[in-house]
Amino acid sequence: MNRDLSYAAVMGRKNEIMKQAIGIDYSVFESGSIAFDYERMMREAGYTLEEIQEIQSSTSVGNTPIIELRNLTALARKFAPKGKGARIFIKDEACNPSGSFKARRAANAVYHAKKHGYKGVIAATSGNYGAAVASQAAMRGLKCIIVQECYDSKMIGQPEILEKQRACEAYGAEVVQLSVGPELFYTFLTLLEDTGYFNASLYTPFGIAGVETLGYELAIQFREKVGKDPDKVVVTHAGGGNVTGTARGLIKAGAEGVEVVGASVDLSGLHMASDTDFNRKSFTTGHTGFGIPFATWPDRADVPRNAARPLRYLDRYVLVRQGEVFYMTEALSVLEGLERGPAGNTSLTAAFMLAQEMDEDQIIVVQETEYTGAGKHPLPQLSFAKKNGIEILFGNPDTEMPGKNIVFPEDPSMIKVRDFDLDKARTSYIKNCITNNKVSEVTKEDLEFLAADTKTDERFVLNILTELGVKVK
């Protein structure tokens, strides 16, 4: 029987394809309106924390060390008010087999695929997750296909993504590379349908639950090392899984009092689906082009219901600039002898400034690092930026204009965090729920869900619904 492979036909079959490729019937968690039973989905479709720890341990994932950055702490204290300057730590996730925390997500997903008899796994990702899935698939003896959005229409590839292609192929994966545009999801769906492979999505309950071990470990390690929980945990925010999983792990460890801070690189004005903007950014993840859209509408993902719900867990969301992250990447290497990639250093840049607001006896921890090398290193990224007409300057990072220049701080005192209004994101999310679900009135269950999904209360949600003219049944 010939299948209709037109774009419209494949998109029309997406839910059927997804159900077959994931094995989850998302409808059992839904109420027919906005609300769905998130905790039940995580509980029934995922694994227990103990099961995940065993799965990850079997492929040498997890139990990564925490490292105190004494020299960067001393530098932060130099610019902090008297008595301020919290101790800065990192959790060194670069020690995982594929060099990033994404190994935790991949270990769970690939194990689940193997357990349920899939012959291979497919993931659509241009980031570290591709290498993580390829690495775990190699260990479990499964085939692996990684679909990357890699080039602009001139077939010029972003160096960080090309580095990740190299890593995926090194682990034996087939890499399908595409130019920026809507063909990514179409190609992903047709490959799933053609192969019958498992959809190792970043956003399934398996993937998000895999990150819970990170938050849990972090709390236990700090209690053992310094006798208390950290005061703040800074998480690089892109699609939301890092924030969600880490926060849920902290909660499972009984560390509910820890402040969870998200950090993204400010790429305001650059559109991720734009052919002209694609190569005018120097960060392929951990930036506002993912961080804000995924916070305000998480169900834009490649699964019907996204298990990454960052607004449920964020206490604060801050932005940093490209030049500041490059500067801090160099500082980490020179002052601490640790060469790490840009994703974790986004949070490190924020932590450097946030530490200056905190007391000296407090602790702030950057919950992940990533490997670096080839296209992920600052030098090829900056060379690529120059080739694309981006000006490289030293000055005040506040003058940086994404897509036009990268401004290194003349002095570390110029590094800043810029708060993004979480209530603005929460409002946008509620509006998107109303618009995308095409509802004119909501149920009491919807109201409770929206309050939980935005970490607010029913009064906050009701105020937004009143502005929209939406009634509660």
Question: What tokens appear for 32 in the block?
Answer: 């027919």
| pLDDT tens-digit readout, 400-456 | 999 999 999 999 999 999 999 999 999 999 999 999 999 999 999 999 999 999 999
Q: What percentage of the chain exceeds 90 in pLDDT? A: 81
- Residues forming a β-bridge with 149: 178
Dist CA 194 CA 291 (whole Å) = 32
**108, 47 in Cβ contact below 8 A?**
yes
Secondary structure (3-state) at 439: coil
Which of these CATH numbers, 3.40.50.2300, 3.40.50.1100, 3.20.20.480, 3.40.50.2020, describes 62-97+209-419?
A: 3.40.50.1100
| pLDDT tens-digit readout, 115-173 | 999 999 999 998 899 999 999 999 999 999 999 988 888 999 889 999 999 999 999 99
Query: What are the C-alpha distances in Å from 106 to residues 60, 137, 259?
Result: 12, 9, 27
Report pLDDT for 315.
98
Let me know if the fold of 7-55+100-205 is the same as that of 62-97+209-419: yes
| pLDDT tens-digit readout, 10-61 | 888 888 888 889 988 888 998 878 999 999 999 987 899 999 999 999 999 9
**180, 151 in Cβ contact below 8 A?**
yes
| pLDDT tens-digit readout, 288-305 | 999 999 999 999 888 889
Q: Residue 290: which of 125, 53, 99, 400 has the closest Cα?
A: 125
Report pLDDT for 1.
54
Per domain, the residue ranges of the chain are 7-55+100-205, 62-97+209-419, 422-472
Average pLDDT of the chain to the nearest whole number: 94
**286, 187 in Cβ contact below 8 A?**
no
Question: What tokens appear for 432 in the block?
Answer: 């998107």
Maximum mean pLDDT: which of 27-31, 271-275, 327-331: 327-331
The second-level CATH assignment, the architecture, of 7-55+100-205 is 3-Layer(aba) Sandwich (3.40)
